[in-house]
Amino acid sequence: MPIIKIQFESGVSNANKDLFTRSYIEDSVTIMEFDTRLRKYKGDDGSKLKIKWGECYKVDINELSTMYNAIKYRFILAKGAYSDSNGNRIFFTPNIEEVSTAQHISKSVVRLACYLAVICGVSLRNIATILTHLFLIDTTKSSVERWINEVGSSLPSEEEILKKLMAIQMPSECNIDGYYPMGTDNCVMVIKDELDRILITQEVNSENKEDAKKFLQKIKELGINIIYAFSDYSKSYIEPIKEVFPEAKFQADHFHTVKNIWKNLKDTY
C-alpha cells in the first residue's frame, strides 16, 4: 500500500484536521483517512470527556478529483458513550464537517452539482457525466436530482436569503436583466448587485414593465436603496427603475453597450 507523504488540502481536511491519520493509494484510489475517536471531546463545563467507544466501522466519502486517481475520504466511526455531571449515560455519534455520510459525498460535490444546474443551466444527465468523467465520481442522473432536491427543500425563503446578503454588505447598485433558462419558456428576471451577487429572482411569462416594477418595488420594501442602476436599453427596465428609484443614476450595462457597438461596426464594414 503506497503511502502519500504530502497531505492534500481541501475543505474536508481543513475542517477535520484533528481527525486526520494518513493518506495512501488503494486500488488506484487516493484515500485520505480520518479517525473520529481522535477528537478531544469536551463537556458543557469545558472538561475533557472520558469516552468509551463501541465497535468501529468505516465510511468512504467521494470527493472531486482533478488528478489521475479518484479521491475518497475514509472515516473511521464508532458510537461513543460518556457520563454527564448527573451520572446519566449519554450516547452519541461524532459529527463530521463538510461531508454527508448518508450520501457518501463531500459538500463540495453537492455545491458543484447545484451550481451547474441552477447557475449554468446544465441538464441533470450532463451533470452526472461531468462528475463521472471529469471529476472521477461515478454517479447517476437520479442521484444528482436527489442532491439538488434535498438542498432546495432546506433553503430559506428568498426574502431571508436577501436579508443575509444585506447583512454581509448592503447593496447600493443593481443590474436587472431577463434570462430564459433551459427547461422553461418563461423569463426569469434577475437582480444582481455590484459584487455580482444574485440578490433575488422572479419568474414571469415575459419581460414587461409591470412585472419589473413590482420586482424592483419588492427589494425597495425590504430596505435596499439603489444609487446606481444598470440594464439593457429595454423600456421594460428603464422606466420601472426611474419610477421605483427616481434618485438613482441609470447607466446601460457594459455588455449590451459593447454588443451594440460591435453590431454597428460589422454593419458598417
Q: What is the mean pLDDT of residues 96-118?
A: 89
| Side-chain half-sphere exposure of 239, counting CA atoms within 13 A | 8
Domain total for the chain?
3
Q: What is the pLDDT of residues 131-170, one digit of tens each?
A: 999 999 999 999 999 999 988 888 888 888 888 899 999 9
Separation between Cα atoms, residue 41 and residue 252, nearest integer Å: 57
- List the end-to-end C-alpha distance of the chain, in Å, as a whole number: 66
Kindly state the helix (H) or strand (E) to which residue 100 belongs, with its residue range: strand 99-100
Residue 177 lies in a domain: yes
Q: Do 229 and 249 form a contact (C-beta atoms < 8 A)?
A: yes
| CATH number of the domain encompassing residue 255 | 3.30.420.10
Give 120 or 113, the one with higher predicted confidence. Answer: 113
What is the percent of the chain with per-residue pLDDT over 70, rounded to a whole number?
A: 97
- Looking at residues 120-126, what average pLDDT do you find? 89
Whether residue 33 sits in one domain with residue 20: yes
Does any domain span residue 175? yes
**Domain shared by 174 and 87, yes or no:** no
Find how far residue 259's CA is from the centre of its chain: 31
Say yes or no: 113 and 197 in one domain.
no
Per the rule left: phi > 0, alpha: psi between -120 and 50, beta: everything else, 36 is alpha
In this prediction, residues 240-248 reach a mean pLDDT of 91
Same domain? For 50 and 113 the reply is no
Of 143, 219, 138, 125, the closest CA to residue 174 belongs to 219
Predicted pLDDT at 6: 67
Residue 84 confidence (pLDDT) above 70: yes
pLDDT at 86: 82
Structural domain of residue 114, as residue ranges?
109-153
Its pTM surpasses 0.75: no
Say if 104 falls within a structural domain. no
User: Are both 143 and 43 inside the same structural domain?
Assistant: no
Which residues are paired to 82 by β-bridges? 90
Q: What is the mean predicted confidence (pLDDT) over 179-199?
A: 83
- Same-domain check for residues 219 and 119: no
State whether 61 and 133 are in the same domain.
no
CA distances from 142 to 6, 46, 145, 260 (A): 36, 44, 5, 42
What per-residue confidence (pLDDT) applies to 128? Answer: 95
